[in-house]
């Protein structure tokens, strides 16, 4: 279910990672190598990126497959950035909310993506949704599990939680309410990357000598420096540092 990628480092064209490599995110939309659930990610895509001197990211999203969008190919060729997050989508429910359901979701400096699915959506997590302020529910951009996860994360960020806590606690809460859910979350503010593994694949490529970090559902090439993140782990990263912390389930 879905593939995503986040980058921090020297300024590069988006296409350097999203379209050019042999196993780029575009190729992963129709021929992923390590996707555990689903085979084609054709239900939408998006990319968010940061321009120099502007903390609020730009965003381009569409509801169809990324390989059929000629505008994206042009955009990826000419837009350059030091930080971006991109995703291709395999919908949990076919046709749900179109472009509005495509990651990345955004608010202020944040870009967010979810890879996976909340099991038996939406009934088990209704109490978590009900606990959110009504205004947060009214602002949901789509009627999907990913949009609700973003609302849970964003509520914590606005309440002052650090990014790691803002991801880890909703993962624990949703996993407890809906066992068997797959909850790989990815978050960036253009300076840091935070991610979780819970039921699906995640890899990182660290190049501290050049101030470059990539976190992705799967490697886009065969560089031996790629490392797989263990399941049920919180990853926090800057351009020069990667930290991995085990995630434990909430106590009954």
Q: Would you name the residues annotated as active-site residues?
A: 2
Dihedral class, residue 214 (left if φ above 0, else alpha if ψ from -120 to 50, else beta): beta
- How are beta strands 233-237 and 58-62 bridged, if at all? unpaired
Q: At 84, is the secondary structure helix, strand, or coil?
A: strand
Distance (Å, rounded) from C-alpha 47 to C-alpha 60?
A: 5
Coil vs helix vs strand at 105: strand
Report the candidate in 103, 100, 123, 102 with the shortest Cα–Cα distance to residue 111.
103
Determine contact, residues 30/45, Cβ cutoff 8 Å: no
Strands (E), the chain: 3-13, 45-49, 58-62, 80-88, 105-107, 110-117, 182-188, 193-197, 203-207, 212-216, 226-228, 233-237, 242-246
């Amino acid at each position: 279910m879905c593939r995503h990628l986040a980058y921090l480092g020297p300024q590069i064209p988006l296409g350097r990672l999203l379209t050019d490599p042999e196993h780029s995110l575009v190729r992963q939309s129709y021929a992923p190598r390590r996707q555990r659930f689903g085979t084609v990610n054709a239900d939408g895509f998006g990319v968010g990126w940061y321009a120099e001197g502007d903390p609020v990211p730009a965003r381009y999203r569409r509801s169809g497959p990324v390989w059929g969008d000629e505008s994206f190919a042009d955009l990826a060729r000419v837009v350059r950035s030091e930080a971006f997050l991109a995703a291709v989508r395999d919908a949990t429910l076919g046709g749900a909310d179109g472009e509005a359901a495509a990651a990345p979701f955004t608010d202020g400096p944040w870009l967010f993506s979810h890879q996976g699915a909340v099991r038996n959506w939406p009934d088990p997590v209704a109490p978590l949704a009900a606990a959110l302020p009504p205004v947060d529910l009214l602002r949901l951009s789509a009627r999907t599990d990913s949009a609700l996860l973003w609302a849970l994360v964003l509520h914590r960020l606005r309440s002052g939680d650090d990014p790691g806590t803002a991801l880890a606690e909703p993962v624990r809460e949703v996993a407890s309410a809906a066992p068997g859910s797959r909850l790989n979350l990815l978050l960036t503010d253009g300076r840091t990357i935070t991610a979780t593994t819970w039921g699906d694949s995640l890899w990182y490529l660290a190049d501290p000598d050049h101030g470059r970090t990539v976190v992705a559902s799967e490697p886009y090439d065969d560089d031996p420096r790629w490392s797989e993140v263990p399941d049920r782990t919180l990853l926090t990263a800057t351009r020069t540092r990667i930290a991995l912390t085990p995630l434990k389930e909430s106590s009954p």
